[in-house]
Amino acid sequence: MPGDVRSDGGGPGWVSSLRVRRRRAEGYTWSDGVTANPDDRWFADLMCAAQRGDGTAYTSLLRELVPLLRRVVTRRAGLDNEADIEDVVQDILLSVHTVRATFDPTRPFLPWLLAIARNRIVDAARRHGRARAREVSLEELTVTSGADPTNTSFDGGDTEALTKAIEELPPGQRQAISLLKLHGLSLREAAAATGMTEGALKVATHRAMAALRRKLAGE
């Protein structure tokens, strides 16, 4: 029972101090408030029982680990969203389950657990970093296209000059502009319609746009 073990893990101050020093010497290197956890032996016993197939002991162990893991994940992963923290905690629990055979009953439990936690936290941080790089904040986007001045301030322009400039383009460039920019065809559709390659269409469009820009600027 948890209570029994906790009382077993207590004792006079100097005993606890000795235990802390011994555990530090055994390699408890994380500074997450778990360096001197007196429950280590109890956790180890529960894990041994779980390795023998004891579901009740396993449930107790995992439930006891959750608050500890939440604390570790919050500190190490730098996550502030509760759902994200919970995701990482669940990841760690799943990993603990998958590799529970690697726990050696003769060795301390917490370094074993924290090595798994550290690995999963690093993976989660990497995933979050990638997802964040792909995301565009909704706050940065305008609600309607009306906020973009180019969408509202168009005065029609000199359509006559534009039409004339397009007509003066070489046939290939004119066709490309007409299909891609005026009729809105995709590159693939335009290529199928004209028999040109997509690369040739891109070049023709690029040259046509440059020529139109020059003509309309009055060069």
Partner 1 sequence: MDRPTDILIERLAASVVPVRPLASPGVRALKWLGVAVLWMLAAALMIQPRADVIAAVRDPGFAAQAAVGVATAMVAATAAFASVVPGYGAWRRAALMTVPVIWFIWFAGGAVLAGIHAPLAVVGSECLASLLLFGSVPFVAIAVLLRRGAPLFPWRTLAWGALATGVLADVGTRFCHTNGTRAHLVWHAAGVLVVVAIGIAAAPAVLRWRRAV
Residues of the shown chain interacting with partner 1 in the complex, contacts defined by CB under 8 A: 27, 50-56, 58-59, 62-63, 66, 86, 89-90, 93-95, 97-105, 107-108, 111-116, 119
Cβ closer to partner 1: 68 or 190?
Answer: 68
Backbone angles phi, psi at 31, to 5 degrees: -105, 55
- Minimum distance of partner 1 from residue 50's CB (angstroms): 6
- Minimum distance of partner 1 from residue 60's CB (angstroms): 9
Cα–Cα distances in angstroms (integers) from residue 107 to residues 51, 101, 111, in the given order: 14, 13, 9
Cβ closer to partner 1: 115 or 192?
Answer: 115
Cβ closer to partner 1: 42 or 58?
Answer: 58
Cβ closer to partner 1: 89 or 169?
Answer: 89
Cα–Cα distances in angstroms (integers) from residue 141 to residues 135, 144, 205, in the given order: 12, 9, 30
- Minimum distance of partner 1 from residue 42's CB (angstroms): 17
Degrees, nearest 5: CA angle 178-182-187: 70
Q: Where would I find the H helices in 135-197?
A: 149-152, 159-167, 171-177, 187-194
